[in-house]
Amino acid sequence: ETPATDGERVYASFGGNVGLFCYSLDGKLLWKKTWPAQPIYLDFGTASSPVVHGGRVYQMHDNAAESFLVALDAKTGEQRWMIPTRSRVESSPVIAGDLAIAATTAGKLYLIDAATGEVKYENDFGGGFTASPAVGDGKIVLGNTDGTLYYLGSTTKSEGLTTEAQRTQRSE
């Protein structure tokens, strides 16, 4: 996990069974958020890093029992919303426009209203996503473990999202 900052505070995740911690820039603990301990897949630990945007901290919580994406208030740590991903997550969330983007190891992609937590789009692409999605030129790009690269557009407003994905297969 890589810490994140909004220029006022530093947010550090120490894995789902330890928690997400918020520090002042001089190292003082401001708040922490913990969840009940859960079994971790093969005891690998977690990989997702927190993302800070728009006064919220977004964190994927990965475990073998109930993985989820959560949005917390950046100043207080109060939970704003949480959605279950129904499968494990190794990637970090991505914020693009008004969307929080989450991908799972089971090949599911979620586009979520970053402010409210409302799921705007959900699709099971198969394969598995372990790397974080990339966003550029109004498109979401993500590759899965079977070698398929997906391009989805538009990321600027959730209302303008097209649900069709272009697919590029790796050549052997």
- Kindly report, residue by residue over 39-60, the tens digit of the pLDDT: 665 555 566 789 999 999 999 8
pTM (2 d.p.):
0.82
Nearest to 133 by CA among 107, 105, 153, 103: 103
- 3-state secondary structure at position 133: coil
CB 4 within 8 Å of CB 74:
no
**pLDDT tier for residue 92 given thresholds of 50, 70 and 90:** confident
**pLDDT tier for residue 158 given thresholds of 50, 70 and 90:** very low
- 3-state secondary structure at position 28: coil
Average pLDDT over residues 70-86: 94
